[in-house]
Structure 1
Amino acid sequence: MLIHEDPALPHAAPPQGMSRRQSLRSIGLGAAAAMVAPQVVLAQAATTPEPPSTVTTPPRSFAPDAPPNVYFWDPDVIAVDPSFNGLAQPNAPIRRLWTGALWAEGPAWNGVGKFLVWSDIPNNRQMRWLEDDGHVSVFRAPSNNSNGNSFDRQGRQLSCEHLTRRVVRYELDGSITILADRFEGKRFNSPNDVVEHQDGSVWFTDPPYGGQLYEGAPDAPGGRSNPEGRLNNRLGQPPEIGEAVREMDHGIYRMAPDGAITRVGTQDQVANPNGLCFSPDHARLYVASTGAGPGDNGQGGTGEIFVYDVAGGALSNPRVFSDCMVDGVKCAPDGLRCDVNGNLWASSNAGRAVGYNGVTVWSPEGNLLGRIRLPEVCGNICFGGPKRNVLFMAASQSLYAVHTATQGAGPS
């Protein structure tokens, strides 16, 4: 689904004076006018039209047995800058590998086992896709409503658990180690995403999104996500979950190789920190800032990507890397990954602006290089495959993949 906005192509640019979004709307209204009576069209014109159900025209199928739809560039992989042509693979189609989740998140590639693991948060399970035959099965259930996953340099899986408000590591012998569940004696909110630094330290974000029924458990009565106590947070949960309440603001944390935990980023710097990743040289940390969560006061994050400088296990100079506005549409970020050239790939949640959901790709200077359009909101991404040149995209209910002409930086 790489759409290349080549000025030589008739579909590349909207009519003069119109934004791309406006031109897409005009196409949709034109199609509606050809199919419905005039009085219905007039009625629709007076209200906001419903977004299209597909992002391509004519509609395409993403099913494994779909008819061929790519003869060179996939129509939904979009080169905004010519340099993106060197990152996208021209004869590679976007594939939907599987569907059936309630909210897919946290994809991570295991290079030894040649499989992808990801979280289906509301279903309280982790799923696995096998590279050899595409088989999908439940990998771990219950998963404690796990969200972000990654593999460290020893091949051990790191997972952020919403329900238990902790970060765990699955050891090679099958045992589980709790890496972090408290900071200065207080419970974490709901660790969200986790990555390893090349020095062996583990870095993770801690927004409050697990403090709800759908993706974890609300606070005990009186807590910030259950102030009136109307929700019974014990229903369907282990007894030890019952007393947990939100105790801290948002934060970004580092666990040193010796186990010491420090808060390296604050809520005042980045509200609602979500996905995170290091640049290839580990001199930068990128962090996605997303919207307000359960128990938050105020608007929360506003859908931007921030970047810090990294040195000596500390962060400095926080600044906005991108506001994630594309053609006047907010492509709110969540999961982040860098390629070996230092370009940042970010999942995109544009809501009902269907043609802007998927992935945005940014240069190290923060310039938009290209987009990948998906028919669903994309929550998180990672590079994988035996050559680490496949971009996997966990998008709402489904898992998608597309081959690229670059490789992801470091382990997934």
Structure 2
Amino acid sequence: MAETDYVVLDPRFKPLIRFSASVQRLYHGCAWAEGPVYVPAYRQLIWSDVVNDRMLRYDEMSGNVGIFRQPAQYSNGNTLDFQGRLVTCQHGTRSVTRTEFDGAITVLAATHAGKPLNSPNDVVARSDGTIWFTDPTYGIDSDYEGHKATSEQQGAHVYRVEPDGDVVAVAADFVQPNGLAFSPDESLLYVSDTGLSHQSDGPRHIRRFAVGRNNSLSGGEIFAQCTEGVFDGFRVDREGRLWASARDGIHCYDPNGALIGKILVPERTANLAFGGPKRNILYICATTSLFCVRVAVNG
């Protein structure tokens, strides 16, 4: 029954879902599904199968799945910039790239302070033309998600790419920064830290920063603590609620930080994206599969 796909922890969660809408598996066969991005012009979802070094494409109208790019340089997080171009984090090249409309690949960021980045993980665009990304070490820790290498950075940071190409470190007090997203008005930046993967008592939370006029960050307090595994990727809906991946599914948080409900998924989730013409289809990347569920909110 579809009702068993949901856990209501607060009455505020009930209007956001429809108990008749079940979680559906759209594709199975990935090694590590990640980085979904919805492309409205083509009604397609593109996502990364990191370990298999490929990017896949789901056609919303036909239901078909095919290869978008292979090899894909162990791609992870993806987003669209405000011109509709695909922006991708690549573990293999330790860079953030942009796919131009003619198919050419432009490198947006590959170094900071003259040294290679670790392995860019997730990325988001801001309306002022800047690109923000996280740079943990997962892609260089072993050959599983990239190419094993020694970090040449002084830690794992959050970065901003300016329109002129300058790469600026904006937050340097993370263990392993991972997912990130802006609030609807772009006044807040949320960033998850999955440092529990490298430290027995490491962080497994999402932090919230205020974004200043000059794109400086302040605050950085803990917004939410993960109760099942760690937070990886997440998205924010139009009302500012945060939908985050966790071990048992998708956790929904009110803008005040309260966990109000869950969408249960049969595999460990990694990331998600709102899609469909009305942005009310939640696409979920979960280990070996791509899932979807229709919700009563808009991304």
TM-score (norm 2): 0.96
Match of 1:302 in 2: 203
Q: In the alignment, is the contact (CA less than 8 A) between 1:348 and 1:358 conserved in 2?
A: yes
For structure 1, the residue ranges without an aligned partner over 5 or more in a row are 1-68, 224-244, 350-356
Distance, in Å, in 2 between the alignment partners of 1:300 and 1:401 is: 33
The one-letter amino acid paired with 1:81 is D
Match of 2:122 in 1: 193
Distance, in Å, in 1 between the alignment partners of 2:177 and 2:79 is: 17
Confirm whether residue 335 of structure 1 aligns to residue 233 of structure 2.
yes
Q: In the alignment, is the contact (CA less than 8 A) between 2:196 and 2:230 conserved in 1?
A: no
Match of 2:178 in 1: 274
Confirm whether residue 262 of structure 1 aligns to residue 168 of structure 2.
yes
Per residue, is there more strand in 1 or in 2? Answer: 2
- CA-CA distance at 1:299 after TM superposition: 4.5
Match of 1:249 in 2: 155
Query: Which residue of 169, 183, 187 corresponds with 2:112?
Result: 183
Distance, in Å, in 2 between the alignment partners of 1:301 and 1:381 is: 24
Distance, in Å, in 2 between the alignment partners of 1:375 and 1:93 is: 12
1:153 aligned counterpart, secondary structure:
coil
Cα deviation per residue 1:246-283 (whole Å; 9 max; x = unaligned)? Answer: 433100001111212110011x2x22000000000101
Query: Which residue of 174, 181, 187 corresponds with 2:103?
Result: 174
Distance, in Å, in 2 between the alignment partners of 1:307 and 1:360 is: 17
Distance, in Å, in 2 between the alignment partners of 1:307 and 1:256 is: 21
Match of 2:59 in 1: 130
Pick the structure with greater CA Rg.
Answer: 1
For structure 2, the residue ranges without an aligned partner over 5 or more in a row are none
Q: In the alignment, is the contact (CA less than 8 A) between 1:120 and 1:127 conserved in 2?
A: yes
Confirm whether residue 152 of structure 1 aligns to residue 81 of structure 2.
yes
Distance, in Å, in 1 between the alignment partners of 2:94 and 2:226 is: 29
Distance, in Å, in 2 between the alignment partners of 1:368 and 1:133 is: 35
Query: Which residue of 46, 49, 70 corresponds with 1:120?
Result: 49
Distance, in Å, in 2 between the alignment partners of 1:249 and 1:291 is: 12
1:302 aligned counterpart, secondary structure:
coil
Match of 2:284 in 1: 393
Match of 1:37 in 2: none
- CA-CA distance at 1:213 after TM superposition: 1.2
Cα deviation per residue 1:320-344 (whole Å; 9 max; x = unaligned)? Answer: 011122xxxx341000100000000
Confirm whether residue 362 of structure 1 aligns to residue 253 of structure 2.
yes
Match of 1:322 in 2: 224
1:119 aligned counterpart, secondary structure:
strand
1:259 aligned counterpart, secondary structure:
coil
Match of 1:215 in 2: 145
Distance, in Å, in 2 between the alignment partners of 1:110 and 1:185 is: 34
Distance, in Å, in 1 between the alignment partners of 2:258 and 2:249 is: 17
Distance, in Å, in 2 between the alignment partners of 1:343 and 1:247 is: 34
- CA-CA distance at 1:300 after TM superposition: 7.5
Q: In the alignment, is the contact (CA less than 8 A) between 1:342 and 1:364 conserved in 2?
A: yes
1:75 aligned counterpart, secondary structure:
helix
Cα deviation per residue 1:349-391 (whole Å; 9 max; x = unaligned)? Answer: 2xxxxxxx11100011100111011111001111111111111
What percent of counterpart residues are identical?
43
TM-score (norm 1): 0.70
Distance, in Å, in 2 between the alignment partners of 1:274 and 1:301 is: 13
Distance, in Å, in 2 between the alignment partners of 1:90 and 1:313 is: 41
Confirm whether residue 94 of structure 1 aligns to residue 23 of structure 2.
yes
Moved over 6 A (4+): none
- CA-CA distance at 1:397 after TM superposition: 0.1
Cα deviation per residue 1:288-324 (whole Å; 9 max; x = unaligned)? Answer: 110356xx6x557421111111112111111101112
